[in-house]
Every structure is written in structure tokens, then in C-alpha cells.
Amino acid sequence: MNRMVVNDVIKQTPENVSIANKVAKVDAMGMYYRDLNSLLRELDANGVEKIEISNVYGQRYIGTDLDNHVRIDIYGTPGNDLGAFMKGTDITVHGNVQDGCGNTMDHGKIVVHGRAGDLVGHSMRGGKIFIRDDAGYRVGIHMKEYLDKRPTIVIGGTAQDFLGEYMAGGILVVLGLNMTEKVHNAKFVGTGMHGGTMYIRGEVKHLGEEVAVAELDDEDYKILGSLVDEFCGYYGLDAGKLMESKFNKIYPVSKRPYGNLYTY
């Protein structure tokens, strides 16, 4: 064990952890996910402001139950539910993420330098998620706005079927940067959607019955432009050139998409 000072308190830390100037470096090789998350909460409680975690191989729930001042850099592939119920943590993943990234996220930010699995932003009610490459199925399912919080997901590549399913609020942006043709193949886009907005670069052929497509107005371009600027800043891309492309706005046409199923 090493003896390190955090917030003027002498702590005993494992050999796979080093701490200096409120920055902790953790080697997660072989660590059970519960042990890793307990360690992260202890570091957070003792005043660490930045945590760098290397050799992450599938550990779940990273970022849960941490205070909003902590910044985390993850090197590897975190497991399911990265940032679940997250309240303000700032996470950057130098790699891919598995399913459920940002599950029921309250606020904070997740930036992924890779691709994501299914259910990104499931029931997300605040904060931002940026995915450099593709994402899987049911991105943004049950997203909702809560008080003054407006959850946001920006995907650099494409997403799979049921994008924005049952979406009740927030913003979804799909940039399609890796498409050879400007057509998204995802099916059932916006199925059950009854709130929020999607901005999609390129054409979407397979829409749910509950949504419609419109041209962007000035307010839409203001919102989209700000998000594209932020996205491009993380990944070294040209926001101005990207905004020259054609975007479609997808929005719900019914506040009660399945209301007729339960009336006689």
C-alpha cells in the first residue's frame, strides 16, 4: 500500500492507484466492477478532481454516485450503464462503450472517442452525450425533459432501428459522417415519439407513424449549430463545412401516439 495525501488527509491507497495534485491514476486491470466503483467513490469523497482509469475491460456502472466536480478519463472499453443515474460528472472515453451509456442520466457529459452499443441515453433526463462513430439500437428511448433540463445526444455516424423510440423530450442529432450515401437505413425511427426533436443529416426512409419531417427554421439552426460546434471541437472536425449539409428535422405529430388503442 502507498501512503498518499488527499485534501490534507493521509490515505492508504492500493498499489494500482497513484495520486498527485488531486489527480488520481487507476490501473483497472483485473478489477471487479464493484471494487472499481467503490474506489472511485472513495477518491471522489476525498477531494480528487480528476481520475484517469487505464485498462478498463467491461467494468459496469462507472460514473454512478459521483459528485459533479469529478472528471474521468477512461482508456479501454467500459461495460454496460456507463454514467447511469449520473449527476454532473464529466466522462471522456478513449475507446468504445457498451450498452446503456447514460442510462437515466440526470446531468453531466459523456464524450466517446469510438462507437456505442444499444440503448444510449435510455430514459435520459438531462446532460449531454457525444458519440464520435456509430451507435446501436434504440438510442434515446424514453428520453424526457425534466424541469429546465434538456437531454442531448449527438452521434457522429449512424444509429440503428428504433432511434428516438417513445421519445418524450430532448434533442437527438445524427450526423452520418461515415455514410457513403446520404440515406440512413434505420427502421422505425421515432416510433411512439411524442416530444423532443431529432436533427438528422441525410435522408431517413423508414419513419414511425407518429412523426413528420420539416425544414429547419432559424431557431433550429441556432440549436443545431451550437451542438455541431461542440461535437467538432471534441473530435477535430470542421463545423462550418458540416453545417453546409442538408439536415432534416423530425418531430412528433401526436401528443398521445397510442391513445386510440385504449378508447372505444
Assigned domain for 176 exists: yes
| CATH code for the domain in which residue 133 is found | 2.160.20.60
Domain count, the chain: 1
Residue 9 above 80 pLDDT? no
Q: pLDDT-derived band of residue 213, with 50, 70 and 90 as boundaries?
A: very high
User: Residue 6: what pLDDT?
Assistant: 52
- Residues above pLDDT 90, as percent of the chain: 80
pTM metric for this prediction: 0.91
Assigned domain for 14 exists: no
Assigned domain for 134 exists: yes
**Structural domain of residue 188, as residue ranges?**
52-259
N- to C-terminal Cα separation, the chain: 70
Between residues 259 and 236, which one has the greater pLDDT?
236
Which of 97, 246, 223, 101 lies closest to 176, judged by CA?
A: 246
pLDDT in tens, 152-193: 999 999 999 999 999 999 999 999 998 877 789 899 999 999
**What distance in Å separates the CA atoms of residue 107 and residue 102, rounded to the nearest whole number?**
9
Assigned domain for 2 exists: no
Which secondary structure element, helix H or strand E, spans residue 228, and what is its range?
helix 218-235
Instruction: List Cβ neighbours of 241 (8 Å cut-off, separation of 6 or more).
Output: none
Assigned domain for 115 exists: yes
